[in-house]
Amino acid sequence: MTMLPEEPSAKKLGLVIDLDICVGCHACVVNCKEWNTGSEGAPLSDVNAYGAQQTGAWLNRIHTFEVKTDSVAQVVHFPKSCLHCTDAPCVTVCPTGASYKRVDDGIVLVNEDHCIGCGLCAWACPYGAREMDPVEQVMKKCTLCVDRIYNENLPEEDRVPACVRTCPTGARAFGDLGDPESDVSQSVRDRGGFDLLPEQETSPVNKYLPPREKRHLVASDRSQPDSQTELQSPDVNGFWGWVDSTLTKLG
């Protein structure tokens, strides 16, 4: 049924993504694909994976943005997967009932056996969180690793989404955003977590934490060479010094 639950669920499972510490390594992207390609639905296919013009379905992707602040330009790596919106427009447009939002925990899922591959849900999602599988021709999206988080066959510490488990910097946190006392809700409060595209009125469950101000990079500091600048042009002697100067001469 593609009607949204009448009352938004009290439990709102989701992710909080910390843009301050994501280093853009794509580990979560790869582990997401790895886990979900062997999951219950059809495999997440790739077409022409080793040739030119490869294509494939992914449930999580990392964009990298440059933000021009007053003083410096800052690089922000930006992971993006389904935000499990409370008012999910992708669900209500689905003509078949394949897309649905779970009443108990708010996870948005696709029943692949009912999906006709019309693609309308991907048109309705503002975030680009749904992709058509190029081989199976059904809609794919982040499942919040529903087959991990409740999976009692897995050791306790593995009962979190694959992307969360694999992130080497801990930039992705999983939890109940419907519970104001949960760690994730706490961090959203403390760090000023925000919604993406709030004007689309989807009320996403997933939140993003802003990058912290990079104090050592403010422009006024640049006039004085600090220890960082010195590190970048070390005085090298000997063999490596010769290599360095020769390469410099070669341009």
Partner 1 sequence: MRPAWSIIVFTSLSGLGFGLLFWFGLGFVVINELIDVILFTVLGVMAVSIGLMSSLLHLGHPKRAWRALSQWRSSWLSREGVCAVATILCTFIYSGVWYIYGERPSALGLFIAILSLLTVWTTAMIYASLRTVLRWYHPLTPWVYLALSVCGGLITLNAWEQIIVGQSSLIEITTIGLVIAFGVKSIWWKRAGSQQSESTPETATGLGSLGQVDLLMSPHTEENWLQHEMGFVVARRHVYRLSQIAVALTFILPLALLWSGISWLIMLIPIVHFAGILIERWLFFAEAKHVVTLFYGERH
Residues at the site binding ligand SF4, with contacts judged by CB under 6 A: 32, 35-36, 59-60, 81-85, 88-90, 93-94, 96, 98-99, 108, 110, 115-121, 125, 127, 129-130, 139, 141-145, 161-163, 202
As a whole number of angstroms, the distance between CA 161 and CA 163 comes to 5
As a whole number of angstroms, the distance between CA 95 and CA 114 comes to 10
Residues making contact with partner 1 (CB under 8 A): 1-4, 19, 24, 29, 52-58, 61-70, 74-76, 78, 80, 89, 91-98, 114-120, 122-128, 131-132, 134, 136-138, 194-201, 208, 210-211
Complex with ligand SF4: residue 29 or 188, whichever CB lies closer: 29
Locate tokens 């050791």: which residue? Answer: 155
Residue 83: which of ligand SF4, partner 1, none does it interact with, CB under 5 to 8 A by kind? ligand SF4
Least Cβ distance, residue 7 to partner 1 (angstroms): 16
Complex with ligand SF4: residue 112 or 244, whichever CB lies closer: 112
Strands 60-68 and 73-81: antiparallel
Residue 145: which of ligand SF4, partner 1, none does it interact with, CB under 5 to 8 A by kind? ligand SF4
Residue 64: which of ligand SF4, partner 1, none does it interact with, CB under 5 to 8 A by kind? partner 1
Q: Name 152's Cβ contacts closer than 8 Å, sequence gap at least 6.
A: none
Strands 108-110 and 130-132: unpaired
With H, G, I as helix, E, B as strand and everything else as coil, classify residue 2: coil
Supply the DSSP symbol for 194: B
With H, G, I as helix, E, B as strand and everything else as coil, classify residue 78: strand
- Residue 23 amino acid letter: V
- Residue 153 amino acid letter: N
Residue 70: which of partner 1, ligand SF4, none does it interact with, CB under 5 to 8 A by kind? partner 1
Least Cβ distance, residue 83 to ligand SF4 (angstroms): 4
Query: How wide is the angle at C-alpha 22 spanned by C-alphas 88 and 215, nearest 5°?
Result: 120
Task: Give me the phi and psi of 147, to 5 degrees please.
Answer: -90, 5
Residue 163: which of partner 1, ligand SF4, none does it interact with, CB under 5 to 8 A by kind? ligand SF4
Complex with ligand SF4: residue 71 or 80, whichever CB lies closer: 80
Complex with partner 1: residue 74 or 187, whichever CB lies closer: 74
Residue 110: which of ligand SF4, partner 1, none does it interact with, CB under 5 to 8 A by kind? ligand SF4
As a whole number of angstroms, the distance between CA 46 and CA 134 comes to 7
